[in-house]
Structure 1
């Protein structure tokens, strides 16, 4: 089922590059992440990644407590380092919270529109590294952000991957994305 949560029904979160995504602050322990998400109305399932990626060894998926069974898929995925510290967050295009960067909505958008607006955002601030590689997914090393397209039936919507400081274990934001994330289409 390709049910998409209406923007009016999504939690509203703010993204502070390399600091936080909504109530999730990079560096929090997995227990602190679970507590913060519970306060936001989400329940979780913890697991160790079948395929650890770089410094990432554990993930936790969260869905809304009152989501119908058919919509119980993850709305938010938190990725933690081997140390247990939160290092990355992915927000689902169909059912995740709406996350904004200085008023620019990042989730559940038409990829082409958001890509253009993200490039304008970067240009207005003198950022030089916002790129769209061959696959067309815009990313910014300066923001610690990668925007991906996620399928919802016959349409594509934006899914965001946010990362903490990664310079001790990866070269680019793209390198931080675990295999599991690339498998979500």
Structure 2
């Protein structure tokens, strides 16, 4: 019965974003913003991994990691809208997929300041990338609202998977983290 609840929760969290992920639904950028984190494997894996990793933590880290990522994502988005070009941006994003995947695979619980600092850096990289890819004729604020909402939904989906699965399923979460880390290696290589 618990597995059905997880499936229903994930379906509810992701269905609105997936339903509107097709271009042309709006002219203000909201749907473009929602679809952006879902359209690239690098963004998708990193954002789900933040939720998985947060759920593996104890105490305030459970909310601090996703909130930090989303906050820095928004700041990075604004910097990207302004045209800031971060050196090695794609490498930083690939490294975030690798590092977050490893953190999940190993169920790492570093000190809160270390976890928040790493998450902030990763959120900044992803935000700048989102901001730099602002579609023409799109409202930056509607676009930002979309990518922030989609990111929060992906974090929540990752968190829900860990929190609602029985403890005996934790090896599956670790395997998913290892697969994400392997994808990060592949992204860095290529």
Instruction: Identify the TM-score tier after normalising by the shorter chain.
Output: under 0.3
Q: Which has the higher strand share?
A: 1
> Structure 2-normalised TM-score?
0.25
Higher relative CO (Cα under 8 Å, sequence separation at least 6) belongs to: 2
